[in-house]
Amino acid sequence: MKISKLPLLLLFCAAMPLHAQIRLPKLISDHMVLQRDQPLKVWGQASPKERIILQFDHKTYKATATGAGKWEIGLPAHAAGTGYTMVLKGKNEIRVTDIAFGDVWLCSGQSNMVINMERVKERFPADIASAHYPDIRNFFVPTLTELNGPAEDFPKGEWKTADPGNVLTFGAVAYFFAREIYEKHKVPIGIINSSVGGTPIEAWISGDGFRDFESIRKTIAQNKDTSYVNTLARVPNPVPQERTAADAGSAGHWESEAYQPKGWRSINIPGFWEDQGLKQLDGVVWYRKIIDLPQNWAGKAVKLYMGRIVDADEMYVNGQKVGNITYQYPPRRYQVPADLLKAGRNTFVIRVTNSSGKGGFVPDKPYFMTTGSDTIDLKGTWQYKVGAVFTSVRNAGGPRLVHQNQPTALYNAMIAPVLPLKIKGFLWYQGESNSDNPAPYNVLLPALINDWRAQWHDGRLPFFVAQLPNFQDIDFLPAESNWALLREAQNKALTLPNTAVAVTIDLGEWNDIHPLNKKEIGRRLALAARNMAYGEKEVIHSGPTLKAQHIENEKVVLTFDHVGDGIVASDDEPLRWFAIAGEDRKFFWADAEIVGKDGIALRSSQVPSPRYVRYAWQDNPLGVNFYNSAGLPASPFRTDSATGAPSH
């Protein structure tokens, strides 16, 4: 019997490696933005020695792949424009369409750079509805780690153009930045957002960037030892012992309408249960409330806003689960189906799990439900019952290697693949994860800036930093502050050329590490870019910065740069959050008087011989009012360290 060779041929073709034809990196794809006015290159892979022809803008370019299958083709500098198509031919043919030339910004950091427009949609609905900007394009890099060296490409990713649907996935700071630049200069803007929540700066620096950090270089070398990494990877996470058992509420179906509550007590929402009589309770607490609804609510879809909950929650309405979130930071915004609510009594039950710190409902957040036209406030007295108590944490036997926190791990996987692409500059919003130990940030941030510029072979690429905002509890006496130290370290970026820090000390929220006013943060970063990257030197991009300090008997006189038409108190009240100290460095609040256009005089009856000054040196100096005429706030600062201004 004659056996057909066709099936064997098809099997052989199917088994051929994917690199046996032209392949492009994920960044070289439809809707991409290439940096205008600079020579560029297109790169990729093919079969060894394969000949590649590239047709672009009525010209033809050629290349031959190396023995390893790599190739690249140089393109001349190109002016800003849109609507270009690129065709590559080899053993296969690839068409890349809707290419734009404009300015490409690499945006990186941790969660506040990740936070997307969907998260802030209630605050900025008009900005989302009007997001018709086909020349603003976003490439979001998926979370990846690599300990063994730089990667060449991302496993997935695509360029998306800004419209009211796509923009929900754009990082909010990056989008508002891009829109400000686009509205002014009308050139395409490409955003490459490569950010991961909860990550330290060390993870974003390359191996080359740690030349002067011996201990970190030892960690990098150790992390390349597969046996070491695999051993730590097998260490289980510490788990509270009692979490392995079902809590009484789950076993008893406390969420059910048929459940008859017994032994429940009153508690307030919002509020943490530790502040309401439950001492140091880690565990599961159930909340319950009967809400009478009028007839016109029946059969309507309802949006339920339950603020923020620490840490995890499950939300039930009339016995049906309408949503859950497993960690504390996202806002709770749940949709109640139209057929679930009824006129009269409706049962709302929330199962809250917390394993450390205070558990419950974060104050000063929205707690209500709405049909769009009618609203019911959900704050006030609920009933609660404890479902489970976590009593101890099992010793897991040693440290566990968290890859995304390791030096170089995110640089290798999420920055290195961008290197062949020319860019306009960098935006950086990170620091929260380094605030527990802020001192090293003084050298780590300059190291990162110098490293990235070296990797792109351009020592003057603009680098703009979003300074940490006000956050956490308010101290009403002068205090020490790690967040203030971290902000001070961020200001050290200003010692390098073409850098700026966007001060956000007035944009934070005491109860949320993810403040929602990303629009103003993006605008302030754009002011820096307009001044320093786009040549608009008349644009004021900085708030007042300390120039000099003079001691005059019982008072201190400060002078400032970047005041515009003069220093102002934004609320016409006396300037707040200034403290002074003598040689003993014991700080007391000072009376502050604006002197002339650019000066402030400080005095305190408790400090007859002042020597040092601190301004807004707090985690959360709420209500700062020290601004310049352009409406930009002064950065927190101090003069009692080597980084302070000298006395004269």
Residues 6 or more apart in contact with residue 123 via CB below 8 angstroms? 516, 517, 519
Say whether 273 sits in a helix, a strand or coil: helix
- CA-CA distance, 407 to 207, in Å (whole number)? 8
**The pLDDT of residue 391:** 81
What is this structure's pTM? Answer: 0.92
- CA-CA distance, 508 to 511, in Å (whole number)? 9
- CA-CA distance, 333 to 307, in Å (whole number)? 8
- Name the burial class of residue 386, with classes exposed (0-12), middle (13-18) and buried (19+) by CB atoms within 10 angstroms of its CB: middle
Handedness of CA 127, 129, 134, 139 (dihedral sign): positive
**The pLDDT of residue 641:** 84
- CA-CA distance, 508 to 623, in Å (whole number)? 10
- CA-wise closest residue to 90 among 24, 167, 21, 13: 21
CB atoms closer than 10 angstroms to residue 417: 23
Amino acid at 604: S
Supply φ then ψ for residue 631, to 5 degrees: 80, 25
Residue holding tokens 């040196």? 617
Q: How far is CA 376 from the centre of its chain?
A: 32
- CA-CA distance, 26 to 56, in Å (whole number)? 19
Is it true that the peptide bond before 270 is cis, omega within 30 degrees of 0? yes
DSSP 85-136: EEEEESSSEEEEEEEEEEEEEEEEESHHHH-BTTTTTTT-HHHHHT--EEEE
CB atoms closer than 10 angstroms to residue 407: 26
Say whether 363 sits in a helix, a strand or coil: coil
**The pLDDT of residue 399:** 65
**The pLDDT of residue 496:** 97
Handedness of CA 338, 340, 344, 346 (dihedral sign): negative
33 bridge partner residues:
100
Supply φ then ψ for residue 273, to 5 degrees: -70, -25
**The pLDDT of residue 245:** 53
- CA-CA distance, 298 to 61, in Å (whole number)? 67
- CA-wise closest residue to 268 among 254, 253, 250, 289: 289
The token duo for 613 is: 């000054």
CB atoms closer than 10 angstroms to residue 203: 24
- CA-CA distance, 349 to 323, in Å (whole number)? 11
Residues 6 or more apart in contact with residue 286 via CB below 8 angstroms? 249, 254, 255, 349, 350, 351, 352, 384, 385, 386, 387
Divide the 648 residues of the chain into consecutive groups of 10 and give the mean pLDDT of each group: 42 43 97 98 97 97 97 98 98 97 98 97 97 98 97 97 98 98 98 97 98 96 86 61 72 95 97 95 96 93 96 97 96 95 96 95 96 95 96 61 95 98 98 98 98 98 98 96 98 95 97 96 98 98 97 96 98 98 97 98 97 98 97 98 48
